[in-house]
């Protein structure tokens, strides 16, 4: 087999065989196939796309290219994945709720990069909490409490890691079959039987429109099912940040408010819907029963208790659940006032995520250090009426020199109208 022929076949719109895809993934991962040939194939795929069969095969090959988590000794394992957004702390809520209802959540999460946050950074802001567990520690935590959320420790889907880095510099990232196979290869390697996907759509998301998000969701669900995993997706709104807190410690506190049954609204709604989907899928019960169970777990405190157990099992101080003074707090809290008036018509959510990153809540480069206390508390969101000079947000940081730039970025993200804009739903659609 020759890489040259594989590139030419895809360039001419042909369907690659299983053997050709396998040859490419193995050859590129081992270093035998050079970057220039892999780049040419990626560009041909970008232009010609891939069939469902090709996409599934590529995903399976990438999932098999490295370590895999073996969860076969556990029952009702369920994973959740979000395609990323601003203020998305749903894992901190949905995972303990689902575990409190009898599912097993053994989850590997990622760090934030650019304008989007990552669950691992949020958990790392809890004093003492460890997200770098050994395999033994991970399994022991799952066995003991049915819930563990950690960072990636093994070499999962190395083929995807290498290909993603190449896509990043060859303008081939925004290709739905390549994105779907990249995400799903890591989910398959993570070992859960059931997978619930939260595909975000809007200005703060990877997929800017609901139509694009649906296409991605459909392909990922298809891959999951093709690989023998129970998989569903919901499409949720990322045209505004989720909830009111952005930034690691601030988001943990907001998640605790939901778990402590003190905060309802869009964050509660999206998190509980995700939890209900996780419960329904893994326990094989109806969605309405699963929703009831999830709601009850918040009301009766069992979800908060589960989160506390996980924090303790991973070395953290579980008292944070009820004593937020134990979480990192910023040296400076700046009240940001609106220069305009009217109804907030649109929030450029990527800009708002960037403003939080400028304050220290995120990284520009992988190596950057995070200020866990940094972030933004919104006081106004889309559809709210704002008077000139009224506070629209509080900026939290330990780096006061960032306030001007971050404040300007935030204010530039807001678009105003004279009349109230139409409210949009948080849950835009589903793919089952």
Contacts to ligand URA by CB under 6 A? 164, 173, 178-179, 182-183, 206
Q: Residue 419: how many CA atoms within 13 Å on its side-chain side?
A: 1
In the set 10, 186, 306, 396, the catalytic residue is 186
Residue 259 neighbours by CB under 8 Å, 6+ apart: 92, 93, 96, 97, 298, 303, 304, 307, 321
Residues 25 and 160 sit within 8 Å (Cβ to Cβ):
no
Tally the C-alpha atoms within 13 A of residue 117's C-alpha that lie toward its C-beta.
38
Residue 211 C-beta: closest distance to ligand URA, Å = 18
Shortest separation between residue 277's beta carbon and ligand URA, angstroms = 21
Residues 6+ away with beta carbon under 8 Å from 194: 76, 77, 78, 79, 103, 229, 230, 231, 278, 281, 282
How many Cα atoms within 13 Å fall on the side-chain side of residue 367?
A: 0
- Active-site residue, from 81, 89, 306, 380: 81
For this structure, is 167 an active site residue? yes
| Nearer of residues 176 and 355 to ligand URA, judged by Cβ | 176
Q: Which of 79, 121, 160, 371 is catalytic?
A: 160
Alpha carbons within 13 angstroms on the beta-carbon side of residue 366 total: 2
Residue number with the smallest Cβ distance to ligand URA: 182
**What is the arrangement of strands in the sheet containing 194-201, beginning at the earlier edge strand?**
78-82, 194-201, 230-237, 427-431
Asked if 86 and 353 touch (Cβ cutoff 8 Å), the reply is: yes
Identify whether 160 is a catalytic site residue: yes
Q: Of residues 115, 122, 161, 167, which has the active-site annotation?
A: 167
Q: Is-catalytic flag, 214?
A: no
Q: Nearest 5°: CA angle at 429, between 413 and 202?
A: 15
Catalytic residue among 182, 185, 192, 203: 182
Which amino acids are annotated catalytic? 81, 160, 167, 182, 186
């Amino acid at each position: 087999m020759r890489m040259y022929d594989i590139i030419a076949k895809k360039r001419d719109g042909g369907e690659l065989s299983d053997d050709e895809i396998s040859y490419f993934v193995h050859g590129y991962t081992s270093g035998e196939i050079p970057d220039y040939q892999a780049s040419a194939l990626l560009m041909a795929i970008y232009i010609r796309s891939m069939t469902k069969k090709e996409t599934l095969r590529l995903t399976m090959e990438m999932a098999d290219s490295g370590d895999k988590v073996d969860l076969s000794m556990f029952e009702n394992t369920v994973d959740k994945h979000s395609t990323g957004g601003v203020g998305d702390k749903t894992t901190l809520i949905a995972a303990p709720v689902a575990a409190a209802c009898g599912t097993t959540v053994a989850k590997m999460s990622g760090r934030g990069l650019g304008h989007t946050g990552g669950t691992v950074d949020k958990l790392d802001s809890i004093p003492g909490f460890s997200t770098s567990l050994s395999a033994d520690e991970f399994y022991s935590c799952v066995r003991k409490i049915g819930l563990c959320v950690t960072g990636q420790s093994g070499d999962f889907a190395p083929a995807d890691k290498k290909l993603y880095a190449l896509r990043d510099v060859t303008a081939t990232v925004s290709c739905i079959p390549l994105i779907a196979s990249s995400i799903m290869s890591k989910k398959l390697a993570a070992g859960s039987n059931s997978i619930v996907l939260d595909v975000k759509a809007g200005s703060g998301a990877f997929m800017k429109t609901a139509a694009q998000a649906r296409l991605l969701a459909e392909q990922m669900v298809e891959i999951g099912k093709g690989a023998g995993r129970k998989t569903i997706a919901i499409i949720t709104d990322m045209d505004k940040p989720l909830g009111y807190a952005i930034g690691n410690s601030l988001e943990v506190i907001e998640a605790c408010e939901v778990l402590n049954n003190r905060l309802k609204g869009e964050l509660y709604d999206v998190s509980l819907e995700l939890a209900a989907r996780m419960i329904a899928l893994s326990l094989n019960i109806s969605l309405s029963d699963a929703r009831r169970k999830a709601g009850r777990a918040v009301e009766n405190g069992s979800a908060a208790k589960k989160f506390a157990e996980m924090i303790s099992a991973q070395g953290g101080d579980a008292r944070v659940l009820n004593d937020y003074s134990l979480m990192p707090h910023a040296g400076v809290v700046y009240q940001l006032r609106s220069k305009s008036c009217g109804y907030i018509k649109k929030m450029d959510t990527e800009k708002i995520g960037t403003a939080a990153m400028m304050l220290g809540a995120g990284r520009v480069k992988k190596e950057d250090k995070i200020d866990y206390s940094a972030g933004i508390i919104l006081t106004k969101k889309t559809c709210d009426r704002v008077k000139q000079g009224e506070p629209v947000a509080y900026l939290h940081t330990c780096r006061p020199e960032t306030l001007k730039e971050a404040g300007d970025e935030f204010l530039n993200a807001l678009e105003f109208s004279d009349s109230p804009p139409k409210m949009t739903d948080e849950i835009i659609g589903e793919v089952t």
